Structure 1
């Protein structure tokens, strides 16, 4: 019998680490990642349902729609890919909008440099940007930065009840 226990377990692991930073009275999620992708399914949809958070969905990333939605809907949390952080750090369009409600971006999908994090957070001082690592087989997260202890350029710590093994190029464990 096939189940989705791995997805439920990953949701509990993720919300055990991050749930205390998300509040259904104040927080609003903006989804710019597709919900058919494991990142969107777990970190946007399942987390929102589990924590009773409202979700605003953009069918694709459009710079004006993105900024207007964050401003007008007072978005506080965005699971995103690093190109969203690049946009926030570098594009002049961002200065035309009040994005001060935005307080947390969780990046995944590809590496995020410490310099890019610094530049985006300098531009939006209320914002914390952090990242995680995972893959479809881990549903998706296995490593994430705790919100209270971020290190620019790091992907974070192993989630609870997971084990990892470091191996060299020849497959030898360390």
Structure 2
């Protein structure tokens, strides 16, 4: 099974993803680390990414997912996957790819982004991400305005057959 944790910046994808991967006894990969340097440079400068910018990044993640599916290796992958077409591209019409949407109120997202250090995504891009976000209708939805352990437990329970 591949779990794609999706949501806007500050929703806790990395923090929750690491703990979920530990609970599922599988690997965790942070999609932010798969961005081409040009994308990181753009975002660092406060410039939102467009579809063309995201395409190489999506292809990298799609290939990663395909490889994990072929090798039957479980994975938790954190990535924004803001649009339905991005998620569809990543899922590859496969039942083994599960989407989990980490939903949070804007105030909490801002607070988290203001506190984090060493990340290339500035707070100024949050509004752009929220405007781009197409909330999924085919995902497990978890509100992340609760302790991380509760969020991880909810996701773990929802993923069980």
- TM-score of the aligned structures, taking structure 2 as reference length: 0.42
More helix by share: 2
| Structure with greater Cα Rg | 1
The structure with higher relative contact order (CA 8 Å, sep 6+) is: 2
- TM-score of the aligned structures, taking structure 1 as reference length: 0.40
